[in-house]
């Protein structure tokens, strides 16, 4: 700006005497006025709007003048005030505060407004000085008003203040442009109105910048309703909306940013669905696969058989059992990804970190989310019949009563004879050799299945004698058809396969107990699942009635994971270290790694302290994925009941009652419902069969009530 000289032709004033033009702060902005009188430190001012007010002289800004004749008429004074106001606003509009700061910040730490004006003007008049004062007052990121001077911020502080100002402005824009939009979305979510068509959104939709920030806020609140970093912002945006955890999800669904029935549990667990999450480290994944394919372990040439559900693709365990003179010899083959897994070492593996972050496979009605890349979990390491695979083998000898008499662990290649499913195995066991269909693949393995069931029954009796509590609670099969809002849920009874399931369950419990004992004998720390409680003797047994299972479960404490080896009362075993599902659970992968490393190097991979630290990382991951595995199937069950309507009567059994509520188990659907005590007659007690009507169902909020009951 060129040098300039301005003069009003009026006397220069140093004090706010009558006739002097002054400025003061009001409403966070400078206001102009004319002093018409002064008494005891109080100024009487004439304002441009013709009103008069009083003001302490201490509130006058440190640029005053020009000074006019105190005897001016009111109209003349108002005209002069208006001229001075316009002049100052015009000059201030042309001032570049950042340009002023660039010149000044290396010169002085603080200075009055006149000093800054003199950088650009020779003998600046009162309007120029006041204009610079106004401009610097508005530039709070680079200047701070400390009467009578302006502090000049350092570059670091200026940058910080500038960022704060931009964030504040963005926040204000978000609230002003977003709060009303969220209320519109809430009306859509509550079915009070339809989402406006694109052509009708003028004036209703936020700007693209505000919309993007709103999406970020809503997704963040959906993933973590307890987060506090944006509590204040959310309180302003959601004013007038219910204070409920799932409101952000409902708003996103109304906005069509997520589909109907969106699985927010995966977001809360930060668990990526599908099979693309490992692509950024495909080179590591490929290296593990190539190492497994080049496996040079000796071959264990036994005709192993696996039994899983019909949809299973990640086969991680198989068995072979044979009679010996004094009992049984059982050999289990466990998939062995730990042989080549890139655990944390000198350079941590991105693949390992990602798999640890997943923690477990999830088996949900809408599909399976595998813990490992599918290339590894369902192909390279999966125990596919007819294909050689690396394996950790557990060989056990048991007496005629099923008691363990010896065991050994070793590494080998295995080649399964068959991959069977529960339904085929049970059908073959039920039909027998003479009437079993020839096209049933389990028929060829019937003798091994029968021997396995015989051993499994002995093992179950032994565990019950040791205090095991076994719940036989059939789980219906959930099936989904359609997509989004058109999804239809069906519940089908599970095909009974008790013998085949018992066979697999008992062998897996036996193997995990043997692994824990093997590790204890050698001082190898493992991750154990424990339930070290004292249970009443009468709790031991196989339970099938809903009222009995509910009563016992209320008395049980949940099991937990810990490095210390302690008993598992519910399973009836002294130690239990899960090791049989290394393709599906990170705990099993870690335990297998400890055993494999010891077999190859005569020492464990982790000591107890390191393993405890690893478990500390894994525990919150498993808690989050556990919520997804528990709550997501229940969501679909509640949607199933809602789709059936509130006129259907459902058979159930009372499991608990008190003066306020009655709990009812619906065994065929695998859910519990609760209703008010007055809905039931005086005969209500645990074990009483009842029929109930259900309503007020909200799957998202996990809510369902009994509307009517009859015995």
| Banded model confidence at residue 54, pLDDT cuts 50, 70, 90 | very high
Q: How far apart are CA 220 and CA 307, in angstroms?
A: 42
Residue 684 burial (C-beta neighbours within 10 Å; 0-12, 13-18, 19+) = middle
In a domain, 598, yes or no: yes
Q: How far apart are CA 335 and CA 392, in angstroms?
A: 7
Q: What's the mean pLDDT when you consider all of the chain? A: 92
Q: Is it the case that residue 659 has pLDDT exceeding 70?
A: yes
Which of 230, 258, 286 represents a domain boundary (last residue)? 258
* pLDDT tens digits, 395-412: 999 999 999 999 999 999
Do 398 and 334 have their domain in common?
Answer: yes
Backbone φ and ψ for 221, nearest 5 degrees, come out as -70, -35
Pick the closest to residue 30 from 166, 129, 151, 156 (CA basis). 129
Q: How far apart are CA 638 and CA 694, in angstroms?
A: 10
CA distances from 517 to 239, 404, 449, 528, 686 (A): 59, 11, 27, 11, 41
Q: How far apart are CA 688 and CA 682, in angstroms?
A: 11
Do 485 and 541 have their domain in common?
Answer: yes
For every residue of 664-705, which 3-state class applies, written as one string? EEECCCCEEEEEEHHHCCCCCCCCCEEEEEEEEEECCCCEEE
Mean pLDDT of 32-61: 92
In a domain, 278, yes or no: no
- State residue 8's pLDDT score: 36
* pLDDT tens digits, 677-688: 999 999 999 999
| Banded model confidence at residue 5, pLDDT cuts 50, 70, 90 | very low
Q: Which tokens sit at 444?
A: 């060829």
| Banded model confidence at residue 435, pLDDT cuts 50, 70, 90 | low
- State residue 234's pLDDT score: 86
Q: Is it the case that residue 327 has pLDDT exceeding 70?
A: yes
CA angle, residues 557, 699, 686, in degrees to nearest 5: 45
Which of 96, 118, 153 represents a domain boundary (last residue)? 153
In a domain, 287, yes or no: no
Mean pLDDT of 656-661: 93
Beta-carbon contacts of 82 under 8 Å, excluding residues fewer than 6 positions away, are: 48
| Banded model confidence at residue 434, pLDDT cuts 50, 70, 90 | low
Which of 90, 125, 153 represents a domain boundary (last residue)? 153
| Banded model confidence at residue 346, pLDDT cuts 50, 70, 90 | low
In a domain, 314, yes or no: yes
* pLDDT tens digits, 567-614: 999 999 999 999 999 999 999 999 999 999 999 999 999 999 999 999
Mean pLDDT of 46-62: 93
- State residue 11's pLDDT score: 41
| Structural domain harbouring 125 | 21-153
Mean pLDDT of 457-482: 94
Do 330 and 452 have their domain in common?
Answer: yes
In a domain, 3, yes or no: no
Do 479 and 423 have their domain in common?
Answer: yes
Do 575 and 427 have their domain in common?
Answer: yes
Pick the closest to residue 383 from 337, 315, 297, 441 (CA basis). 315
Mean pLDDT of 460-466: 95
Do 99 and 230 have their domain in common?
Answer: no
Q: Is it the case that residue 232 has pLDDT exceeding 90?
A: no
In a domain, 638, yes or no: no
DSSP SS3 for 30: strand
Number of Cα atoms under 13 Å in the Cβ half of residue 5: 2
Do 600 and 689 have their domain in common?
Answer: no
- State residue 9's pLDDT score: 34
Q: Is it the case that residue 212 has pLDDT exceeding 70?
A: yes
In a domain, 1, yes or no: no
Do 468 and 559 have their domain in common?
Answer: yes
For every residue of 541-572, which 3-state class applies, written as one string? EEECCHHHHHHHHHHCCCCEEECCCCCECCCC
Q: Which tokens sit at 108?
A: 């002085």
Do 288 and 351 form a contact (C-beta atoms < 8 A)?
yes
**CATH number of the domain residue 692 falls in:** 2.40.50.140
- State residue 347's pLDDT score: 59
Q: How far apart are CA 650 and CA 693, in angstroms?
A: 6
Do 695 and 673 form a contact (C-beta atoms < 8 A)?
no
Do 130 and 228 have their domain in common?
Answer: no
Q: How far apart are CA 391 and CA 306, in angstroms?
A: 13
Do 596 and 679 have their domain in common?
Answer: no
- State residue 231's pLDDT score: 79
Do 586 and 447 have their domain in common?
Answer: yes
Q: Is it the case that residue 489 has pLDDT exceeding 50?
A: yes
Q: How far apart are CA 656 and CA 653, in angstroms?
A: 9
Number of Cα atoms under 13 Å in the Cβ half of residue 184: 14
Q: Is it the case that residue 532 has pLDDT exceeding 80?
A: yes
> Which run of H or E residues covers position 130?
helix 126-138
Pick the closest to residue 101 from 91, 86, 111 (CA basis). 111
Mean pLDDT of 155-165: 89
Do 147 and 173 have their domain in common?
Answer: no
Mean pLDDT of 54-80: 92
Instruction: Give the chain's domain count.
Output: 4
Q: Is it the case that residue 707 has pLDDT exceeding 90?
A: yes
Mean pLDDT of 18-23: 94
pTM of this structure:
0.81
In a domain, 631, yes or no: no
| Residues of the chain above pLDDT 90, percent | 80
- State residue 640's pLDDT score: 97
């Amino acid at each position: 700006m060129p040098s300039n000289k301005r003069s009003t032709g009026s006397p220069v004033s140093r004090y706010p005497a009558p006739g002097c033009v002054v400025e003061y702060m009001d409403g966070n902005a400078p206001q102009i006025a004319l002093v018409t009188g002064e008494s005891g430190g109080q100024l009487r001012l004439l304002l441009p709007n013709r009103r008069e007010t009083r003001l302490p002289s201490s509130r006058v800004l440190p640029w005053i003048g020009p000074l006019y004749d105190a005897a001016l008429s009111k109209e003349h004074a108002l005209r002069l005030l208006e001229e001075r106001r316009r002049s100052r606003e015009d000059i201030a509009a042309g001032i570049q505060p950042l340009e002023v700061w660039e010149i000044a910040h290396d010169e002085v730490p603080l200075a009055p407004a006149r000093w800054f004006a003199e950088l650009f003007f020779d003998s600046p008049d009162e309007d120029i000085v006041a204009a610079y004062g106004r401009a610097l007052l508005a530039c709070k990121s680079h200047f701070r008003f400390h009467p009578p001077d302006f502090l000049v911020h350092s570059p670091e502080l200026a940058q910080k203040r500038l960022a704060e100002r931009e964030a504040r402005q963005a926040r204000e824009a978000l609230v002003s442009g977003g709060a009303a939009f969220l209320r519109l979305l809430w009306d859509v979510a509550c079915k009070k109105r339809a989402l406006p068509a694109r052509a009708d959104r003028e004036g209703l939709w936020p700007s693209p910048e505000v919309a993007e920030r709103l999406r970020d806020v809503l997704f963040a609140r959906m993933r973590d309703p307890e987060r506090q970093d944006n509590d204040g912002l959310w309180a302003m945006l959601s004013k007038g909306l219910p204070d409920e955890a799932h409101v952000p999800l409902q708003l996103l669904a109304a906005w069509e940013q997520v589909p109907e029935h969106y699985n927010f549990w995966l977001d809360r667990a930060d668990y990526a669905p599908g099979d693309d999450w490992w692509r950024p480290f495909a080179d590591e994944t490929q290296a593990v696969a190539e190492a497994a394919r080049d496996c040079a372990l000796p071959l264990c040439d036994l005709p192993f058989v696996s039994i899983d559900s019909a949809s299973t693709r990640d086969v991680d365990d198989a068995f072979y059992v044979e009679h010996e003179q004094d009992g049984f010899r059982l050999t289990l083959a466990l998939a062995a990804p730990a042989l080549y897994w890139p655990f944390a070492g000198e350079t941590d593996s991105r693949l390992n970190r990602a798999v640890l972050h997943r923690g477990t496979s999830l088996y949900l009605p809408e599909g399976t989310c595998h813990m490992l890349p599918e290339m590894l979990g369902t192909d390279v390491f999966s125990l596919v019949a007819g294909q050689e695979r690396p394996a950790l083998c557990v060989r056990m000898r048991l007496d005629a009563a099923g008691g363990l008499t010896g065991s050994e662990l070793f590494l080998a290649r295995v080649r399964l004879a068959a991959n069977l499913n529960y339904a085929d195995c049970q059908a073959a066991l039920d039909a027998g050799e003479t009437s079993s269909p020839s096209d049933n693949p389990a028929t060829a393995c019937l003798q091994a299945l029968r021997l396995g069931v015989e051993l499994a029954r002995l093992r179950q009796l032994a565990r019950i004698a040791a205090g095991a509590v076994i719940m036989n609670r059939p789980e219906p099969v959930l099936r989904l058809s359609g997509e989004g809002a058109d999804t239809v849920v069906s519940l089908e009874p599970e095909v009974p396969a008790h013998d085949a399931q018992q066979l697999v369950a008992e062998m897996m419990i036996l193997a995990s107990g043997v692994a824990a004992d093997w590790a204890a004998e050698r001082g190898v720390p493992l991750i154990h699942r424990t339930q070290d409680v004292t249970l009443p003797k009468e709790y031991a047994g196989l339970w099938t009635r809903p009222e009995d299972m509910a009563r016992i479960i209320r008395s049980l404490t949940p099991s937990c994971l810990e490095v210390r080896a302690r008993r598992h009362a519910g399973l009836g075993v002294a130690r239990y270290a899960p090791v049989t599902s290394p393709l599906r659970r990170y705990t099993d992968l870690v335990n297998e790694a400890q055993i494999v490393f010891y077999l190859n190097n005569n020492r464990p991979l982790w000591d107890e302290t390191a393993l405890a630290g690893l478990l500390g990382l894994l525990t919150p991951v498993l808690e989050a994925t556990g919520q997804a595995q528990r709550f997501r199937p229940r969501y679909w069950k509640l949607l199933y009941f809602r789709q059936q309507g509130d006129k259907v009567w459902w058979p159930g059994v009372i499991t608990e009652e008190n003066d306020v509520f009655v709990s009812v188990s619906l065994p065929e659907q695998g859910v519990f419902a609760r209703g008010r005590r007055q809905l039931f007659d005086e005969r209500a007690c645990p074990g009483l069969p009842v029929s109930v009507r259900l309503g007020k169902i909200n799957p998202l909020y996990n809510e369902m009530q009994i509307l009517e009951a009859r015995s």
